[in-house]
Amino acid sequence: MATYDDPARTVLSDDGEAPAPAAPVGGDLVYRQRRPVRLWHWLNALSIFVLLMSGMMIFNAHPHLYWGRYGANQDMPWLEIGAHDDQGYLRVGPLTVPTTGFLGVAGGQHRAFPPLVTIPSSYNLAGARQWHFFFAWLLVVPGLLFWAWGVVSRHVQHDLAPTAEELRPRNLWQDIKDHARLRFHTGEAARRYNILQKLSYVGVIFGLLPIIVLTGLTMSPSTDAAWPWLIDLFGGRQSARSVHFICAALLAGFIVVHLTMVVLAGSLNELRSIITGWYRLPKERGQ
Ligand code: HEM
């Protein structure tokens, strides 16, 4: 076995003078995730799980979403989770879906989200808000530091930003087909994120996470007194709450796909890389 920096894999450069490291091949161990990425990733994963679970408990206090400024008795909710005659349901606009056993009614209790997925598990709005606000700071402060480090160290430009070539429709389509057939990159090409990975990571880091933070700030009375333009930006506090919820749902969808891809791509190798930094390049096909 060779590691990326292994002298055994060092070859002479073309001019025969200075030694140059050979490009790693399938089976080699390469250093793929730097320490700040790994640290941020796990802090962020912890915060996101606690925020999603405490957020669902806060939602349980009023399981209706509205557009605009007022909500409650003034407007019609566009989404609600509720119970009628002991049957749980989810209503989105004109569409109502029965959800007994998970949403609305679960384990004999009337609760929008069931105890299994909320923090705390018993109904406790004050407790959920304490969890939520504490972990919101743990999301925001390391997130800002990660952004700054990512730009200065060129992690963003080098590892996350898609290239013009990768964004060509033919390449995108090829990557979608490869994913559908579970044919992931091998050898040297596997050192880099593929284009679908890049797009989803950039979407999360520079799209979903900042919007979630901004809509959270918009709902907070003290921030909205200090920066009233936030309310206008999102078209009212109820709209900000709806956007906050939609982004949280998209984030939950990202996590499901992300974890599925980790398992399909080889969970032990993937976990080693995001815990220790070292990743074994998958062997080229046919080897
Ligand atoms: C326990 C759950 C999780 C596991 C096992 C996991 C695993 C991984 C792995 C293995 C990678 C590296 C992928 C590769 O090298 O190809 C990665 C990267 C990443 N994960 Fe996760 N992940 C988890 C939760 C999350 C959550 C909750 C988020 C939420 C936003 C997230 C966002 C990301 C992002 C943005 C990257 C790219 C980081 C970068 O290079 O800057 N992950 N994850």
pLDDT tens digits along 214-230: 999 999 888 767 888 99
- 35, pLDDT greater than 50: yes
Closest atom of ligand 1 to CA, residue 197: 16
Is residue 2 scored above 60 in pLDDT?
no
* Residue predicted with more confidence, 220 or 159: 159
Inter-CA distances, 161 with 18, 42, 43, 203, 274, Å:
32, 21, 22, 11, 19
Segment 24-36 shows an average pLDDT of 92
Q: How much is the mean pLDDT over the chain?
A: 90
What is the reported pLDDT for 284? 82
pLDDT for 24: 86
For residue range 60-106, list pLDDT tens digits in order: 999 999 998 776 666 789 999 999 999 999 999 999 999 999 999 98
Determine the atom of ligand 1 nearest the C-alpha atom of 193: 16
Tell me how far CA of residue 75 lies from CA of 6, 69, 94, 178, 236, in angstroms: 66, 9, 15, 46, 13
- Find the mean pLDDT for residues 136-143: 97
Burial grade of 201 (CB within 10 A; 0-12, 13-18, 19 or more): middle
Residues 107-128 have a mean pLDDT of 94
Residue that the structure tokens 């569409």 belong to = 95
Decide if pLDDT at 55 tops 60.
yes
User: Which residue carries 């320490």 as its tokens?
Assistant: 35
Half-sphere exposure of 272 (CA within 13 A, CB side): 11
In angstroms, what is the span from residue 194 Cα to ligand 1's centroid?
14
Residue 282 has a CB neighbour count (10 Å cut-off) of: 18
pLDDT at 32: 94
> What pairing do the DSSP bridges indicate for beta strands 29-31 and 278-280?
antiparallel
- Return d(Cα 180, Cα 267) in angstroms, integer: 18
Q: Which amino acid is at 5?
A: D
Residue 119, classed as helix, strand or coil, is coil
Residue nearest to atom 11 of ligand 1 (CA): 274
Output the CA torsion 107→117→276→273 (10° steps): 90
Ligand 1 centroid – CA 283 distance (Å): 22
Query: Average pLDDT of 229-258?
Result: 95
pLDDT-wise least confident of 102-111, 135-144, 155-164: 102-111
On the question of pLDDT at 7 being above 50, the answer is no
Q: Rounded distance, CA 116 to CA 6, Å?
A: 48
Task: Assign 10 a pLDDT band (cuts: 50, 70, 90).
Answer: very low
Measured by CA distance, the residue closest to atom 34 of ligand 1 is 201
Best probe residue, ligand 1, of 29, 38, 40, 41 (max atoms within 8 Å of C-beta): 41
Calpha distance 55→57 (Å, rounded): 5
102-to-9, 90, 97, 113 alpha-carbon distances in Å: 55, 10, 12, 7
Q: Which protein residue has the closest C-alpha to ligand 1 atom 6?
A: 259
Closest CA to 201 of 151, 162, 144: 162
In this structure, the residues whose C-beta lies within 6 A of any atom of ligand 1 are 32, 37, 41, 44-45, 48, 159-160, 193, 201, 204-205, 255, 258-259, 262, 270-271, 273-274
pLDDT at 13: 41
How many angstroms is it from 47 CA to the middle of ligand 1?
13
8 pLDDT more than 70: no
Residue nearest to atom 8 of ligand 1 (CA): 274
Ligand 1 site-directed mutation target among 50, 135, 146, 274, most atoms within 8 Å of CB: 274
Nearest atom within ligand 1 for CA of residue 200? 35
Amino acid at 114: P
Q: Cis ω on the peptide bond leading into residue 120 (within 30° of 0)?
A: yes
Alpha carbon nearest to ligand 1 atom 39, residue: 37
In one-letter notation, the amino acid at residue 168 is: R
Please name the residue whose Cα sits nearest to atom 17 of ligand 1. Answer: 274
Write out the DSSP string of 139-192. Answer: HHHHHHHHHHHHHHTTHIIIIISPPTTTTSHHHHHHHHHHHHTT----GGGGGS
Distance 274 CA to ligand 1 centre (A): 7
Average pLDDT value for residue range 163-190: 94
Instruction: List the residue whose alpha carbon is closest to atom 36 of ligand 1.
Output: 201
| Arithmetic mean of pLDDT, 106-126 | 94
- Are 280 and 28 in contact, with CB atoms under 8 Å apart? yes
**H or E stretch covering 96:** strand 95-98
Name residue 110's beta-bridge partners: 105
The pLDDT of residue 12 is above 60: no
